[in-house]
Amino acid sequence: MDSCDVLIVGGGPAGSSCAWALQRAGLETILLDKRTFPREKLCGGWITPAVLDELEINHAEYERGRVFQPITGFRTGIMGRVEVETEYGKPVSYGIRRFEFDDFQLRRCGARIMEGAPLESLERSQDGWIANGEIKARMVIGAGGTFCPVARVLGADARQESAVVAQEIEFEMTGEQREGCAIRAEIPELYFCSDMKGYGWCFRKGNFLNVGLGRMDRSSLKRHVAEFLRFLKEAGKLAFDLPASMLGHAYLLYREIRRNIVADGVLLIGDSAGLAYSMSGEGIRPAIESGLLAAKTVVEANGRYGQEELEKYRASLISRFGNPEKHWSSSVGKYVRPELIAGAARTLLANSWFSRHVILDRWFLHLNEPALNFEMPRTIIPAVERSVGVGAGS
């Protein structure tokens, strides 16, 4: 029987960031993932400078042999209407490929990594959990995305939840395709659907191009994706057809989340907790921050992993991201008809001030939120106590 202080299920940005912080604090951590890295991962893929600061990633180290596209502005609007270009004059974000970024983070986290190993069983033991009948852990953290098996243990059913559905593709362009692509690498383009229930993006990262669209309603996704691709060609942004079919995925927005994210000896982080930003759907930064906040909670619990001790994690999420039950967009939707919201949005999205200071600064880049900055405490659990284990609720 293998053993550890903390078992993390899922090796994406949330899981690897949490493992990185736990290992630095002195907790023995095993990270389990059903895939073998590097692995393909559908994602628009950009990270802000705050993410680099939080993870102490050196620019020069990361961009050596990897895609690291500086983003200095955005082009935004509603498809077929007025477009607004916002230029910051400096990098406000960086385009990355999840194929590379996730593998980089996983290799530097310091945890013991078990790849190609899905979580097939998770059972209670006297002093914690037993995973797959062979890994004994005093604490389990679910970081396996929307359909995380740890979330299912806590009662989550993604089929019954309100999720954003998306289709996208990322590919390396040929010389001919590069000539037929009017998208500038430093200026990604974002275009909202006319009903404001989703948006599409066209994002160039060096020789790679990522195109996709996400919406809150599954039934009309295919139609809106087709309209978006037609818009890109008719507007002269892409002069070629996509080289392959777009693939689909789903994720939960923070304002919609109703999952139980804390239980005795268990926490959920990242997409398994439904932490994608409510207005943009971007999930990398909240995944990383939730991983760091979860690690801080676990270390400060000092071996006492009952729900009462771990509730500090829920409080830290609300402090950082707000209360999902009181999100302003949900309140507005209760009292204002959708067509009125869409009409107002069409006017506002044509305004350069609103596009910059609300759409980009607050909804997409979160420039008003500084990087997490706290000193991770080191565990002070006595070695003998750690070796025999402490009950999850003790």
User: What does the pLDDT look like over 173-223, one tens digit per residue?
Assistant: 999 999 999 999 999 999 999 888 899 999 999 999 999 999 988 889 999
Helix, strand, or coil here: 108? helix
Percentage above 70 pLDDT, the chain: 91
Task: Give pLDDT, residue 215.
Answer: 92
Question: Which residues 6+ apart lie within 8 Å of 375 measured at CB?
Answer: none
User: What does the pLDDT look like over 12-44, one tens digit per residue?
Assistant: 999 999 999 999 999 999 999 999 999 999 888
Nearest CA to 393 out of 301, 273, 317 is that of 301
User: What does the pLDDT look like over 251-298, one tens digit per residue?
Assistant: 888 877 788 999 999 999 999 999 999 888 899 999 999 999 999 999
Task: Give pLDDT, residue 162.
Answer: 79
Instruction: Look up the CATH number of domain 2-73+91-161+253-331+369-388.
Output: 3.50.50.60
Task: Give pLDDT, residue 380.
Answer: 57
Cis peptide before 370 (omega within 30 of 0): no
Task: Give pLDDT, residue 103.
Answer: 97
User: H/E element holding 119?
Assistant: none
Q: Work out the pLDDT band at 65, boundaries 50, 70, 90.
A: very high
Which residues are 6's β-sheet partners? 29, 139
Residue 392 has pLDDT above 70, yes or no: no
Residue 88 has pLDDT above 60, yes or no: yes
User: With 0-12 CB in 10 A as exposed, 13-18 as middle and 19+ as buried, what is 110?
Assistant: middle
Which residues are 125's β-sheet partners? 128
Tracing tokens 């102490």 back to the chain, one arrives at 56
CA 293 to chain centre: 15
Q: Contact 15/110 with Cβ under 8 angstroms?
A: no
Q: Give the separation between CA 68 and CA 65, rounded to whole angstroms.
A: 9
Please report the DSSP string for 12-78 in residue order. SHHHHHHHHHHHHTT--EEEE-SS-SS-------EE-HHHHHHTT--HHHHHTTS--EEE-EEEEEE
Task: Give pLDDT, residue 102.
Answer: 97
User: What does the pLDDT look like over 328-383, one tens digit per residue?
Assistant: 454 444 444 556 666 777 788 999 999 999 999 999 999 999 999 888 777 655 44
User: H/E element holding 166?
Assistant: strand 164-172
Domain spans of the chain? 2-73+91-161+253-331+369-388
| Total residue count of the chain as it appears in this document | 394
Task: Give pLDDT, residue 379.
Answer: 65
